[in-house]
Structure 1
Amino acid sequence: MEMRKILGIAMGAMIAAGAVSNAAHAEETVIWWDFLSGGDGVRMKQLISDFNEQHAGEITIDATTLEWGTPFYSKVRTSAAIGEAPDMMTYHASRIPLAVSQGILSEITPDDWQAMGLSQDDYAPATWDAVTIDDKQYAVPFDTHPIVLYYNKDVLAANDLLTEDGKPKGLDSREGFEATLKGLKDAGVDYPLASTTADGTFMFRTIYSFMAQQDGELMTGDEFLAGDNAEKLQNSLEVLAGWTNDGLQTTYTDYPAAVALFTSGKSPLLINGVWEVPTMIDLKDQGKLFEWGAVEIPVIFDHPATYADSHTFAIPANAGKEMTPEKHAAVLEVISWMAKNSLFWATAGHIPAYGPVTQSDEFKQMEPNAAYASVTDNLVFDPKSTLAGVAGPIYDVMSTYFVPTLNGEMEPAEAVEEIKYELNDLQ
């Protein structure tokens, strides 16, 4: 009887030890929110599936996709305030200043970077700076998604407007690019360049790029359009309004129409985001598209510069809910794995932010991404302001004046005067 008791006690101890061991190695579930739809959504779901398969029994991502823009960011803020935000989420770099001011993002600490096996040297300076506030990082860049120039190789070639390396002629100067536009116009093309001129928030990308090509900035300290920056904005608007007035660019064109004008062959040039690359690839694979390419936007002023934003990964600061060390380690593993496996993400047209991926032979052979990868050296992000970023008030103000100006119904000088007054009135 005594022996049975001893055995029973020993067995109980073994079971208890086993339970503790199993608990220590229990699978961590990482609650994930994103705002990715369309081609982005398809690719991210595949990455999540691949991660879960490779980490079976250790970490699983439980992902939810929410509505892009203001609805997403409003939900994050309200959820973080009551400790109900996810463990991690996608976040636009342009929205980080506002999020930090609201106290809803956790710092990505030096120890976190070390644990992930990532560092500042792995990122382009502008991309790293975009997630940095007061020398602290609040997100891990996943990509950059700039605007690019899409072009119809067949039409340009037929009109002797391709260079020997198969790119549009005239990308290095205003005179050169306008010569290409006019060459297409003379060849009978109604609208050589398709632009989203009915949406001022979208056209901000092109306008701000042209400002940056003059070393202009939207915000200096706490002042909008200080010094000669108003003049540089006016210069940008005058160029674009001139293209519209000369019939070189589409008028009052919304986003779907701009893309359709290009894909139908009616407009041989299109300025749009890299996220439309999957559209072009799919149509080409279906035999419904001409030979096409995409390159960095033309240098209209002094030097290359292109507006961009970044998808990043951020960790919410959940009020009253501290993350366990095990959960935190799992979140860092997810972010690290996504960065190091972002070559697949590039098939969505984006440029992976993690340098070793973009420097790989595989990426350098990926077209058209490799053709516009040079833009990484010339990126310009939103000003670091709580008023900036996706769906921010800056865009609302400027859109009101950009649309009539780009469509020949308002003078650029008048638009700039009104924009400067209203932006500074937001402060």
Structure 2
Amino acid sequence: MSAPPSPPPPAQGHDGRDRGPSPTRRSLLRGALAGTGAALLGSAALTGCGSLAASADPSALRVWDLFQGGDGMLMNDMIKAVSAGPDGFTVNRTILEWGPSYYTKLAMSAAGGRAADVGVVHLSRLAGYAPGGLLDPFDLDLLASFGCREADFTPSLWQRTRYDGTVYAIPLDIHPFIVFYDLDAAERAGLLDTSGELAPMGSPEALLDAGKALAEATGGPGIIFGYVNDTSQCWRQFAAFYAQTGAAFTLPEGGPAGIDTDAAIRVVTFMRQLFDGRTNPNNLDYDGALAAFMGGRGGMAMLGEWELPALRKSGIRFGAAPFPQVFERPAVYTDSHSLVLPHQADPDPARRREAHRYIAELIKQSLTWASAGHIPAYRPVLESPEYAALRPQSSYAGASEVAVLDPPAWFVGSGSNFHHRMSQSIQSALLGNASPERAVRDMVRTANSLLSQANPVA
């Protein structure tokens, strides 16, 4: 994950026209954004999928995404699969760098009305893009005709695809914050159930005891969590524990933030107890924590499921499980890579139909996507015997039923400044530089400050 991006740039309205005779900040910037967006479309020197001839084909579907490395290769495989045969697609794929550049370019191209046919966004960021007309809505009847229906997704996830009652995103996956554990250490610590899986915790005390037992089993750290100077890790863990308390976290437009401060203090206090600097280290950065666990120097690691390929390469024997429930209700912090229709000023109906068909067919290939650790959002794949046979992926598939995303607001989401600033406040408490009470006050102040700012694309 990378540094937090700036908020999406101002853009024109959904219908592409001015909202009135008086110039606004958005209308004054529209010309510059449209010109920049057009330039980006013409000049992005990025990785393509398929032959040069296919890339030059004006009828090819133009697809933008942010998948590089192993994920990028898997996406290539999926695109090749849907491009085969007489009904296959011709695809011009563009890969943009994850983080600020991707979301800025996506916004600017959509503001110019000349965006790609299909794009990818994190579902948590939908509220920053749909309101200003940067995305076009889906035709659900058309999508259903290609075998992709609302009933094919978990209700909690599908609910987040909507803005103002309209669907603007189709989830490809669910990628949760989970735990990986050293199988040998967990067995010695007595933490496995009769099927050899990590047993439920059930209480804060049980997780604290598990850390001690793992430390004794490893002769080193028990539970590893790398967060120092990371832009999202503290928020991911806090959000998981906070959701488990059952308390609401809302960010209504204009504020104030709806945060149960007692529940938040309870969570930060527990996080500080858990990472006490003795049983479980309290000063690891992300790379240090990952290296320690892969080197066998730790019994359990709290990480995103996206680290599965790296852990496999390490050669250690490990298992995986949803993030442990220790408070009153099950909840796992997650996000979702979702497919969207970036705004086009005058979309061609035939191309738009093909975009719907392409998205439906790509989602059906998500068993390939699951090999990297991501949970398929499409239930027919998630519930298939082939997915059940994937280990350890199917061990944490239950996270999809209790998935919790960021509270919807224009400034939240993966890689956002909101994540960064919230994580800074929590980090200060974990490092002993601030009390849990002060950390929570800082979090509330940050949320209210962001809520006082107008959505630049609304």
Q: Assess same fold via TM > 0.5.
A: yes
Match of 1:116 among 146, 166, 177: 146
Q: Confirm or deny that 1:40 pairs with 2:71.
A: yes
The one-character-per-residue Cα deviations of 1:18-50 (angstroms, maximum 9, x if unpaired) are: xxxxxxxx9941001100112211111111122
Match for residue 156 of structure 1?
A: 186
Distance between the aligned counterparts of 2:418 and 2:98, measured in 1? 18
Match for residue 319 of structure 2?
A: 293
Match of 1:217 among 236, 248, 252: 248
Q: Confirm or deny that 1:65 pairs with 2:104.
A: no
Q: What displacement does 1:85 show?
A: 1.6
Q: What displacement does 1:225 show?
A: 4.7
Q: Structure 1 residues 337, 170: closer, same or farther in 2, change over 3 A?
A: closer
Instruction: Answer yes or no: is the 8 Å Cα contact 2:251–2:447 preserved in 1.
Output: no
Bigger drift between 194-203 and 338-347 goes to 194-203
Q: Confirm or deny that 1:305 pairs with 2:303.
A: no
Q: Confirm or deny that 1:138 pairs with 2:168.
A: yes
Instruction: Answer yes or no: is the 8 Å Cα contact 1:217–1:225 preserved in 2.
Output: no
Match for residue 393 of structure 2?
A: 369
Instruction: Answer yes or no: is the 8 Å Cα contact 1:218–1:224 preserved in 2.
Output: no
Q: Confirm or deny that 1:269 pairs with 2:300.
A: yes
Unaligned runs of 5+ in 2: 1-56, 453-458
Match of 1:129 among 156, 159, 166: 159
The one-character-per-residue Cα deviations of 1:50-79 (angstroms, maximum 9, x if unpaired) are: 2223357x5211101101121101001111
Q: Structure 1 residues 167, 73: closer, same or farther in 2, change over 3 A?
A: same
Distance between the aligned counterparts of 1:249 and 1:112, measured in 2? 52
The one-character-per-residue Cα deviations of 1:316-361 (angstroms, maximum 9, x if unpaired) are: 112x3x2212211211121011111211110010111011111111
Calculate percent identity across the aligned residue pairs.
28
Match for residue 189 of structure 1?
A: 219
Match for residue 412 of structure 1?
A: 436
The one-character-per-residue Cα deviations of 1:218-245 (angstroms, maximum 9, x if unpaired) are: 2153445536x12212111111111222
Match for residue 19 of structure 2?
A: none
Instruction: Answer yes or no: is the 8 Å Cα contact 1:170–1:180 preserved in 2.
Output: no
Distance between the aligned counterparts of 1:105 and 1:397, measured in 2? 27
Unaligned runs of 5+ in 1: 1-25, 284-288
Instruction: Answer yes or no: is the 8 Å Cα contact 2:223–2:298 preserved in 1.
Output: yes
Give the number of the structure whose residues are more often helix, by fraction.
Answer: 1
Read off the aligned partner of 2:339 and give its amino acid letter: F
Distance between the aligned counterparts of 1:256 and 1:354, measured in 2? 32
Match for residue 173 of structure 1?
A: 203
Q: What displacement does 1:191 show?
A: 1.8
Read off the aligned partner of 1:268 and give its amino acid letter: G
Read off the aligned partner of 2:187 and give its amino acid letter: A
Instruction: Answer yes or no: is the 8 Å Cα contact 1:93–1:310 preserved in 2.
Output: yes
Distance between the aligned counterparts of 1:161 and 1:356, measured in 2? 32
Instruction: Answer yes or no: is the 8 Å Cα contact 1:109–1:136 preserved in 2.
Output: no
Read off the aligned partner of 1:189 and give its amino acid letter: G
1:292-371 → structure 2 map (5 Å cutoff): 292-318=318-344, 320=345, 322-371=346-395
Q: Structure 1 residues 391, 200: closer, same or farther in 2, change over 3 A?
A: closer
Distance between the aligned counterparts of 1:359 and 1:424, measured in 2? 41
Distance between the aligned counterparts of 2:85 and 2:268, measured in 1? 50
With normalisation by structure 1, the TM-score equals 0.87
Q: What displacement does 1:282 show?
A: 3.2
Q: What displacement does 1:187 show?
A: 4.2
Match of 1:235 among 260, 266, 269: 266
Read off the aligned partner of 1:315 and give its amino acid letter: L
Instruction: Answer yes or no: is the 8 Å Cα contact 1:277–1:348 preserved in 2.
Output: yes
Instruction: Answer yes or no: is the 8 Å Cα contact 1:210–1:301 preserved in 2.
Output: yes
Structure possessing the higher radius of gyration over alpha carbons:
1
Match for residue 27 of structure 2?
A: none
Read off the aligned partner of 2:152 and give its amino acid letter: D
Q: Give the CA RMSD over aligned residues.
A: 1.9
Q: Secondary structure at the match of 1:267?
A: coil
1:245-260 → structure 2 map (5 Å cutoff): 245=276, 247-260=278-291
Q: What displacement does 1:130 show?
A: 1.5
Match for residue 105 of structure 2?
A: 75
